[in-house]
């Protein structure tokens, strides 16, 4: 996470572009109804809710696909819905809904970012379809013929461009494997190769590239280092006995944590959570993961130990929050290993998820002290992993800003959950040690860092991947208001507390948001999540609506 520059924010319309909502429709004599939320750019739905189908004993995926077949005209798709979609997964949630996640395909090729979630209740009624599809692909002349260049050529083109940007070829952590996709931007559709390059030298990066499969042109590229890639291939735990160590963190506080002890000493390995938590020492180099942290007596009180103590203990606390509060077993829901490396580089002022693990710099002592010393920073970064394995919010523009905000929201909620000097600031414990009271970001007042606190003041340029950090302030303010209440831009919000807010945002993220979600879709998704949990006429739903209205998302 990086300190953001203050920018001059452009004024724009108060209402988000996709905020048009069609009225509820019901067929005469029918028990079904629907509320359609349209994206004005594509003039297609990005959220439909209501009692969309009659009760049914059919499989949830069939209920969803049959409904989408009936709505081909609305979504502007063609052919049979079974050929338009690939079922990615089907899961049941704690409320009793079955979630079906569908990937849009065209002639068998996945459309990048075009994913729908469909919710079917216990009675077999489809209650919501969330996400936006690429319309009228059958009419795109660019899709009439297939690829003209090969995978290897696309990889070479992207690698050459990246080397030019960086000034040298990076040292990749793993091979970039091109994936054949349809890439849609501003109404244009192209067959393309999607590639992801993860590297730490000459500087950390996780670059996403799209290379036109017919011309070899680079259609888009951006650094998504804050967002995760694929889960780590895994590391092997040492043999030994599960033990409990103690140590002092970066700020001098004493903690206990799980270790594994054998004749060599005690390793910072926790085998009691998921498939394990592992903490490594980079020894001020830039190779990861480094050396598995080993201590002679299981007491880590030296100043050099502090970064490792906090990284290990706070990763366990973040795991516990998601497991105990949201029944999520690690970031992927399947017990994925949590791997951390501390003492990365020299005077390195950053912390990030590389695409497979957490990495923490020591800071330069002026801008930052060791960044693993802040629980909200660790929870922030690991929440990016949760996002990647659920909503998979694309790290650009509005979806990227929602991505960043979700990490801030849960970083703060984890801090409150463990009563770790909680507040609505991000990174205050490790940022500018010589200045008291400041932070990387304030969720209570985003303008303190030059960030917008209202959609009308959002940044609309190309810097910061389209303002992913800056525009996160809009959602951050909404989250603050939902938990605490208050009046903002003349709109009063009744606070509902952290616990309920956390449940609503977690359900919004994991059940309803999709890769290309806009702020307007985010609003209706949060309203639907609150409706599922507390009922359509609940005070919680009213507060969600007021919080988003207060920040100009209608």
The number of CA neighbours under 13 Å toward the Cβ of 510 is: 25
Query: How much is the pLDDT for 12?
Result: 27
DSSP-derived 3-state class of residue 247: strand
Quick one: pLDDT at residue 226? 58
The confidence score (pLDDT) of residue 47 equals 98
Residue for token pair 């507040």: 423
The confidence score (pLDDT) of residue 287 equals 87
Q: What pLDDT, on the 0 to 100 scale, is given for residue 418?
A: 98
Residue 381: the pLDDT is 92
CB neighbour list of residue 139: distance below 8 Å, 6 or more residues apart = none
pLDDT value at position 425? Answer: 98
Per-residue model confidence (pLDDT) at position 229: 36
> In angstroms, rounded to a whole number, what is the distance separating the alpha carbons of residues 489 and 545?
14
Q: What is the pLDDT of residue 19?
A: 46
**Residue ranges of the chain with per-residue pLDDT less than 50:** 1-19, 21, 23-29, 227-232
Catalytic residue among 226, 454, 469, 488: 469
pLDDT in tens, 431-461: 999 999 999 999 999 999 999 999 999 999 9
Please give the pLDDT value at position 233.
Answer: 54
Residue recorded with tokens 């490792």: 308
The pLDDT of residue 488 is 98
Two tokens, residue 466: 């389209």
Secondary structure (3-state) at 35: strand
381 flagged as catalytic: yes
Residue 260: per-residue pLDDT: 98
**What pLDDT shows up at residue 80?**
78
Determine which one of 381, 404, 415, 540 is catalytic.
381
Cβ-Cβ contacts under 8 Å for 16 (sequence gap 6 or more):
455, 518, 519, 520, 523, 552, 553, 554
* Domains, in order of start, for the chain: 241-386 (3.10.170.10), 397-550 (1.10.390.10)
- CB pairs under 8 A, 24+ apart, for 321-330? 321/379, 321/410, 321/413, 321/414, 321/417, 321/418, 322/386, 323/273, 325/417, 325/502, 325/506, 326/502, 326/503, 326/506, 327/94, 328/386, 328/510, 329/274, 330/273, 330/274, 330/275
User: Structure tokens of 1?
Assistant: 């996470």
Task: State yes or no: is 136 an active-site residue.
Answer: no
């Amino acid at each position: 996470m990086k300190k953001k520059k203050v920018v001059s924010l452009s004024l724009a319309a108060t209402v988000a572009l996709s905020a048009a909502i069609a009225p509820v429709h019901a067929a005469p004599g029918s028990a079904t109804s629907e509320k359609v939320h349209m994206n004005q750019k594509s003039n297609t739905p990005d959220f439909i809710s209501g009692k969309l189908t009659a009760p049914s004993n059919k499989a949830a995926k069939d209920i969803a696909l049959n409904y989408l077949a009936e709505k081909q005209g609305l979504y502007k798709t063609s052919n049979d819905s079974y050929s338009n979609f690939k079922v990615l997964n089907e899961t049941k949630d704690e409320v009793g809904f079955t979630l079906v996640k569908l990937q849009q395909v065209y002639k068998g090729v996945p459309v990048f970012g075009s994913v729908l979630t469909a919710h079917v209740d216990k009675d077999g009624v489809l209650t919501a379809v969330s996400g936006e599809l690429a319309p009228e692909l059958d009419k795109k002349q660019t899709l009439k013929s297939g690829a003209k260049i090969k995978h290897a050529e696309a990889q070479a083109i992207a690698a050459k461009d990246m080397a030019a940007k960086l000034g040298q070829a990076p040292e990749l952590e793993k091979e970039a494997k091109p994936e054949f996709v349809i890439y849609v931007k501003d109404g244009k559709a192209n067959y393309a190769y999607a590639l992801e390059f993860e590297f730490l030298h000459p500087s950390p990066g996780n670059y996403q590239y799209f290379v036109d499969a017919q011309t070899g042109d680079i259609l888009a590229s951006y650094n998504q280092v804050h967002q995760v890639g694929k889960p780590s291939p895994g590391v092997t735990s040492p043999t030994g006995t599960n033990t409990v160590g103690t140590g002092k963190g970066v700020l001098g506080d004493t903690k206990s944590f799980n270790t594994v002890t054998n004749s060599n000493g005690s390793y910072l390995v926790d085998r009691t959570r998921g498939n394990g938590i592992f903490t490594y020492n980079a020894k001020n180099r830039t190779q990861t993961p480094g050396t598995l942290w080993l201590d002679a007596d299981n007491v880590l009180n030296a100043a050099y130990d502090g970064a490792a103590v906090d990284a290990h203990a706070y990763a366990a606390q973040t795991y516990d929050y998601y497991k105990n509060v949201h029944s999520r077993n690690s970031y992927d829901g399947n017990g994925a290993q949590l791997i951390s490396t501390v003492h990365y580089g020299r005077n390195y002022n950053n912390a990030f998820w590389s695409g497979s693990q957490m990495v923490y710099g020591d800071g330069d002592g002026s801008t930052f002290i060791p960044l693993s010393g802040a629980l909200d920073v660790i929870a922030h970064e690991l929440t990016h992993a949760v996002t990647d394995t659920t909503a998979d919010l694309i790290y650009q523009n509005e979806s990227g800003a929602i991505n960043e905000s979700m990490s801030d929201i849960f970083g703060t909620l984890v801090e409150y959950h463990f009563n770790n000097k909680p507040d609505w600031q991000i990174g205050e414990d490790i940022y500018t040690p010589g200045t008291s009271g400041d932070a990387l970001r304030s969720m209570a007042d985003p303008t303190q860092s030059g960030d917008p606190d209202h959609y009308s003041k959002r940044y609309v340029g190309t810097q910061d991947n389209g303002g992913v950090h800056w525009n996160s302030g809009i959602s951050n303010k909404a989250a603050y208001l939902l938990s605490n209440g208050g009046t903002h831009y003349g709109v009063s919000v009744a606070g509902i507390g952290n616990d309920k807010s956390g449940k609503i945002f977690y359900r919004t993220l994991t059940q309803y948001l999709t890769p290309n979600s806009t702020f307007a879709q985010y609003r209706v998704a949060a309203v639907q999540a609150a409706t599922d949990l507390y009922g359509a006429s609940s005070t919680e739903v009213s507060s969600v609506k007021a919080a988003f209205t207060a920040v100009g998302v209608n």
